[in-house]
Amino acid sequence: MTHKKIVVLGTGGTIAGRAGSASDNIGYTAAQVGIAQLLMAIPAIAGTGSVIVEQVAQIDSKDMSFALWSQLAARVNHFLARPDVQGIVITHGTDTLEETAYFLQSVCRPMKPVILTCAMRPATALVPDGPQNVLDAISVAWHAGAMGVVAVCAGTIHSAFDVQKVHPYRLNAFSSGDAGALGYVEEGRLRLLRNWPLVQEVRPLCAIDIIAKLADPAKCPRVEIVMSYAGASGAIVQALVAQGVQGLVVAATGNGTIHHALKAALLEAQTSGVKVVRATRCVNGQVLAMPGDPISDSKGLTPVKARVAMMLELLG
């Protein structure tokens, strides 16, 4: 009989950070402690033999790249294909966790659980939050019937489609907005509130093709985010179009409204062949489209996730 295992992939982040003092929770350097060392410091995990550990990267997640996404997705797919693997946990920085989660859900479309977890305090903190987050993530990975990409932080489970970082300091820095949390981890037990994330669309390219294209910077479509605000102009859009941008996501005010000068430039860009999509810059809610809107909406995706979705669409 094959004993199931959980794979833990390390990518760095605050959870692997070091500070000069245990009382310093912000003046740290991210991505200093290896994933194997992190897990050895958690007695409930160390020496159990049920965990496979691999260091995929060691970065501050603000520096996440398409090439690293490609590498990470390849390792996720590798382990998902193994029959002895129950699920995958990825330690990740908080800054771009929501983008990585949405990317992995869209590309890997896992029928096993893939859990991203993190920390708001470095490993050297007097009371680090990383170890408990890792334990909670592993509990989710072991849960029968769990599937799809989720994020686990501060005892809360968030779907890859909904999770976003909403606070720069608090331990419960993530929210699922109007959708609400997928569930909670309480003393190692799950209390689910809604269904696991499922594949929402079929992409023209298979995961292998997408991963290969992302690994080559020359094949990555350039998609940028611009914002509408008081006094906005079309200058940035015009400059980006001149540089050959292929897609633009506009973080619009309110229900997808855009400053008239910026909108004129976006419509001109759209006419020239640049793909343009509107998302709202509001933390909650989504753009409610109206018939005849000249710029399509992001179907509820935040600006950063809409950018990932557009990039994947353009890859096809």
Please, where are the H alpha helices in 162-278?
207-214, 235-242, 260-271
Active site residue 280: no
Strands 5-12 and 51-59: parallel
User: Are 110 and 167 members of one domain?
Assistant: yes
User: Are 156 and 268 members of one domain?
Assistant: no
What is the mean pLDDT of the segment spanning 228-254?
Answer: 98
pLDDT greater than 60 at residue 171 = yes
Q: Which residues contact 83 (CB under 8 A, 6 or more apart)?
A: 2
Report the share of the chain in percent with pLDDT over 70.
97
| Residue 224 CB coordination number (10 Å) | 17
User: Are 23 and 154 members of one domain?
Assistant: yes
Least confident of 105-119, 146-160, 208-222, 290-304: 208-222
User: Phi/psi at 133 (nearest 5 deg)?
Assistant: -60, -40
What is the mean pLDDT of the segment spanning 208-235?
Answer: 92
User: Cα–Cα distances in Å, from 238 out to 246, 256, 277, 278?
Assistant: 12, 20, 16, 17
Report yes or no on 211 lying in a domain.
no
User: Are 101 and 53 members of one domain?
Assistant: yes
User: Are 251 and 163 members of one domain?
Assistant: no
Question: Torsion-angle region of residue 272: left (phi > 0), alpha (psi -120 to 50) or beta?
Answer: alpha
- CA-based nearest residue to 89, from 130, 61, 121: 130
pLDDT greater than 60 at residue 202 = no
- For residue 216 the two structure tokens come to 């080559």
What is the mean pLDDT of the segment spanning 300-315?
Answer: 96
Report yes or no on 216 lying in a domain.
no
**pLDDT class of 201 with cuts at 50, 70, 90:** low
pLDDT greater than 80 at residue 206 = no
Q: Which helix (H) or strand (E) holds 38?
A: helix 35-40
Cβ atoms of 87 and 141 within 8 Å: the answer is yes
Report yes or no on 204 lying in a domain.
no
User: Are 165 and 243 members of one domain?
Assistant: no
Cβ atoms of 94 and 173 within 8 Å: the answer is yes
User: Are 169 and 233 members of one domain?
Assistant: no
Q: pLDDT digits over 33-71, tens only?
A: 999 999 998 988 877 779 999 999 999 999 999 999 999
Report yes or no on 161 lying in a domain.
yes
* 79-98-37 Cα angle (round to 5): 55
pLDDT greater than 50 at residue 316 = yes
User: Are 170 and 241 members of one domain?
Assistant: no
Catalytic residue among 11, 14, 117, 302: 14
Cβ atoms of 174 and 153 within 8 Å: the answer is yes
What does 6-34 look like in DSSP terms, one character per residue?
A: EEEEEEESGGG-EESSTT-SSSEESS-S-
Q: Which residues contact 297 (CB under 8 A, 6 or more apart)?
A: 256, 277, 278, 279, 286, 287, 289
The DSSP code for 257 is B
The pLDDT, as a whole number, for residue 199 is 67
The pLDDT, as a whole number, for residue 200 is 60
Report yes or no on 206 lying in a domain.
no
User: Are 269 and 136 members of one domain?
Assistant: no
The pLDDT, as a whole number, for residue 148 is 97
**pLDDT class of 257 with cuts at 50, 70, 90:** very high
User: Are 134 and 230 members of one domain?
Assistant: no
User: Are 132 and 91 members of one domain?
Assistant: yes
User: Are 163 and 304 members of one domain?
Assistant: no
Looking at every residue in the chain, the average pLDDT score rounds to 95
Report yes or no on 114 lying in a domain.
yes
Report yes or no on 212 lying in a domain.
no
The pLDDT, as a whole number, for residue 12 is 98
Report yes or no on 197 lying in a domain.
no
- CA-based nearest residue to 101, from 159, 20, 45: 159
CATH number at residue 114: 3.40.50.1170
The pLDDT, as a whole number, for residue 205 is 59
**pLDDT class of 203 with cuts at 50, 70, 90:** low
CATH number at residue 306: 3.40.50.40
pTM of the model: 0.96
Q: How many domains does the chain have?
A: 2
Tallying the residues shown for the chain, one arrives at 316
Residues 174 and 219: their CA atoms lie apart, in Å, by: 32
The pLDDT, as a whole number, for residue 228 is 98
**pLDDT class of 1 with cuts at 50, 70, 90:** very low
The pLDDT, as a whole number, for residue 284 is 95
**pLDDT class of 212 with cuts at 50, 70, 90:** confident
Q: What residue numbers bound the domain in which 101 lies?
A: 5-192
pLDDT greater than 60 at residue 77 = yes
- CA-based nearest residue to 253, from 225, 222, 219, 287: 287
Least confident of 101-105, 158-162, 194-198: 194-198
